A and B are shown apart, each in its own frame.
Chain A
Amino acid sequence: MTDPLFNPGDAVTVSARFPTGRRHIRTPFYIRGKTGEVERVCGAYKNPEDLAFGNYNAARVSLYRVRFDQRHVWDDYTGNPNDTIDIEIYEHWLEPAVTEDSSDAT
């Protein structure tokens, strides 16, 4: 078992990477680059990016459920400001969130 890098409550940013080619990536485009909070650690699962191509000995990767504010995800979101979306994201797609306390203090 790999030890998870993040804990519930941690602020994380989804990597804004857009690799091309023959891939099987379970990180939706719409959430890349967005920042949310770890809701729970789901456990460690074989990396689907390897599994999809027949590598059943794929390394296990920690999987998280990350909660995002809908208003942060969609610029034009009109629902309740408390509306959220939870998405499962593998650890190698997460980075510690960068705090923007100096530049964006509005």
Chain B
Amino acid sequence: MPHDDPHDHSHAAVEADEPQGYYQHLAAATRSLLIEKGVFSAADMRAMIEQIDRRSPALGAKIVARAWTDEGFKARLLSRGKQAIKEEMEIDPVAADIVVVENTAAVHNVVVCTLCSCYPVFILGRPPDWYKSYAYRSRAVRDPRGVLREFGTEIDPAREVRVHDSTADMRYLVLPMQPAGTEGWLEERLAGIVTRDTMVGTAEVRPAE
């Protein structure tokens, strides 16, 4: 029982104060300069960071759950994603144009940005580290089925795997398939089983145990 352990050895504290590299210095200097010149204040900066951090996959999950329960919304989401999200979900898409791609029995979609790390932050929050790694970015285009397998996602060989390389001005949301056995669930309950990875396409939605 961990609680009864005589915890008498010391640990180094977990610190986020790693030595700063060139780009950290550049960012800090630029930030100081902009604040000094009155372009924005330190409070504006903090508020912006908080706004970014408030975005999470829960927003995307609500969109998916709405699409599963409302055919009309789903059709609008697939044809004019940005407007549907803005007008019907009241989520501010900021500047991004969104392309929603639907998983079906015939097609499985997966998203990658090989050039950098383009990601629909406004509906999924900040991307996971693996999404930004060279390994994912290079391998997801070249061997998508192998990469998906490493995520525990085995795509039937008969289904088409369609990779989306998010190279420019579009941002992508995968509309996963609604799992069997969840018919008739309320929107809120459905949103609870939609995870971040299912909206990037590295996983499929499973009904909650």
Contacts and interface: CB of A to CB of B under 8 A. Distances in A.
A76 B116 CA distance: 25
Contact of B145 (A79, A88, A90): A79
Size class of the A contact interface (CB-based, 8 Å): 20 to 34
Interface of B: 97, 99, 114-115, 141-145, 157-170
Given A31-B165, A80-B157, 19 more contacts: A26-B168, A27-B167, A28-B114, A28-B167, A30-B141, A42-B169, A65-B99, A80-B145, A80-B158, A80-B159, A83-B144, A84-B161, A85-B141, A85-B162, A85-B163, A85-B164, A86-B162, A86-B164, A90-B168
A63 B23 CA distance: 31
Contact of B168 (A30, A79, A80, A88): A88
Nearest to B168: A88
A97 interface: no
Given A26-B115, A65-B99, A79-B145, A85 B160 contact: no
Nearest to B110: A85
A56 interface: no
Interface string A11-51: 00000000000000011101100000000001101001000
19 contacts: A28-B115, A28-B165, A31-B165, A42-B170, A43-B97, A45-B169, A63-B169, A70-B144, A70-B163, A79-B144, A80-B159, A83-B144, A83-B162, A83-B163, A84-B160, A84-B163, A87-B165, A87-B167, A88-B166
Highest count of chain A CB atoms <10 Å: which of B115, B145, B169 = B169
Nearest to A28: B114
A106 interface: no
Contacts of B168: 26, 42, 45, 48, 63, 88-90
Contacts of B165: 28, 31, 85-88
A87 B165 CA distance: 5
A83 B169 contact: no
Contacts of A99: none
Contacts of A27: 167
Interface in A60-106: 63, 65, 70, 73-74, 77, 79-80, 82-90
Contacts of A26: 115, 167-168
A103 B70 CA distance: 52
A60 B110 CA distance: 28
B167 A89 contact: yes
B167 A80 contact: no
Contacts of A88: 165-170
Contacts of B114: 28, 30
A86 to B, nearest CB: 5
